[in-house]
Amino acid sequence: MPDTTVNFSFLHRTCTLVLLLCFLHIFVTVLYYVRSLDSRPTFVQNPQQTLQIQRKLKEEVSVVTEELKTSPTVKYRNVTEKALEKCPDPSRLLVGALRVEFSSPVSLELVRKENPALQEGGRYKPKDCVALQKVAIIIPFRKRDEHLKFWLYYLHPILQRQQLDYGIYVINQEGDETFNRAKLLNAGYAEALKEYDYECFVFSDVDLIPMDDRNTYKCFSQPRHLSVSMDKFGFRLPYNQYFGGVSSMSKEQFLKINGFPNNYWGWGGEDDDIYNRLSSKGMSISRPNGAIGKCRMIRHDRDRQNEPNPQRFDRIAHTRDTMNKDGINTLSYSVVRVEKDQLFTKITVDIGKPPK
């Protein structure tokens, strides 16, 4: 009996000790928890506070967004970024009437040296502002190297002053078959678009130089005729519908007329066909005034394999019937060579020959 009493008493003391230890543990844990609550930053707000903070953040974001939209220079998080403005239209770099003459020859080396800002392929865009338009200039070409040098010598400085984002594409007809100006222009349109997202296309003969830099080589709300008063015509239009020499069209205007005809082999009529296409689609011709539109042609003899095309009168009489079946939608040619110079991209193309 005494043994049992001793055992019971021992057990009772042990249990009491364990219980006390448990209480002590709980007490210490609670104490630490309460102290940690005191020292924590108060991240959790009541719903009212949360809403207020969200509103403030929204306001700050919209202020920064507005600044980005309106101000060219935005300081944010210590980073200063320059957002470029659109170039002014007309460009403030223009000088007006120019002296154009062809008495002493020019070299490509000289033209390269005088135009250091050009990128390979005859590409340029203004550094300090966003150009108004991305313009591809397409030149139909075969064996006119002397004319091309003069063209590059005069046009590059003018186009840079006009602050255009431009590229020069010389579309060179391969071989000695009959020349086809309009088909080369179609090929130039297609090739230029493979390189860059051009929105405007200027089609220029290699022997025509503008005499006033206010004659901007860009596109307008209507197709533009740029060579309106040529020296060889006594500085007047030869006839009202004349659309030859230098013209410009937006991509949209060009596609609306299904591009240019591919079947005018030899000299003449293709420009009249283009005029017919435009007027059949309800478009009119926009032109600079006679003073600003003055230009000089480099005198030359008739080219070989570009004799007057005897079919041209019959063809221009049927433009409306043929324009949907012959144009950019039926263009077929192959690229023989692409050469990149600092001053131009020369693309030699095989455009075939007139059907027998």
Single-letter amino acid, residue 191: E
Q: Of 192, 188, 179, nearest to 352 (Cα)?
A: 179
Q: How far is the CB of 202 from ligand NGS (least distance, A)?
A: 17
Residue 168 is a binding residue for ligand UDH (CB under 6 A) = no
Q: How many positions of this chain bind ligand NGS (CB under 6 A)?
A: 9
Residue given tokens 């296309």 in the structure block:
201
301, interface contact from ligand UDH, ligand NGS, none, CB < 5-8 Å by kind: ligand UDH
Q: Please say whether the dihedral angle defined by the alpha carbons of residues 313, 188, 89 and 256, taken in this order, is positive or negative.
A: positive
Which DSSP string do the residues of 291-347 spell out, in sequence order? TTTEEEE---PPPTT--B-TTHHHHHTTHHHHTTTSSGGG---EEEEEEE-SS-EEE
Q: How far is the CB of 61 from ligand NGS (least distance, A)?
A: 59
Is 207 known to be catalytic?
yes
What Cα–Cα distance (Å) separates residue 71 from each residue in 58, 81, 86, 171? 20, 10, 13, 42
The H or E element that residue 100 is part of is none
Residue closer to ligand NGS by CB (options 213, 271) is 271
Is 25 known to be catalytic?
no
Is 300 known to be catalytic?
yes
Is 145 known to be catalytic?
no
Residue closer to ligand UDH by CB (options 141, 344) is 141
Query: Catalytic one among 267, 283, 307, 350?
Result: 267
Is 302 known to be catalytic?
yes
Residue 271 is a binding residue for ligand NGS (CB under 6 A) = yes
Residue closer to ligand UDH by CB (options 25, 143) is 143
Is 165 known to be catalytic?
no
Residue closer to ligand UDH by CB (options 208, 249) is 208
DSSP alpha helix (H) spans, 162-220: 181-195
Q: What share of the chain is helix, strand, coil (3-state, %, to 5)?
A: 35, 20, 45
φ, ψ dihedrals at 278, nearest 5°:
-65, -45
Residue given tokens 């203004």 in the structure block:
126
* Single residue of 167, 259, 266, 269 touching ligand NGS by CB under 6 A: 269
* Single residue of 206, 211, 230, 351 touching ligand UDH by CB under 6 A: 206
* Single residue of 181, 225, 287, 312 touching ligand UDH by CB under 6 A: 181
Q: How far is the CB of 144 from ligand UDH (least distance, A)?
A: 4
Distance of CA 217 to the CA centre of its chain: 14
Is 161 known to be catalytic?
no
Is 230 known to be catalytic?
no
**Contacts of ligand NGS in 224-263 (CB under 6 A):** 238, 244
Instruction: Give, in degrees to the nearest 5, the angle at Cα 291 between 158 and 248.
Output: 55
Q: How far is the CB of 271 from ligand NGS (least distance, A)?
A: 5
* Neighbour tally for 286: CB within 10 Å: 14
Residue closer to ligand UDH by CB (options 134, 144) is 144
Give catalytic residues, as residue numbers: 205, 207, 267, 270-271, 297, 300, 302
Binding site for ligand UDH (CB under 6 A): 139-144, 179, 181, 205-207, 267, 301-303, 306
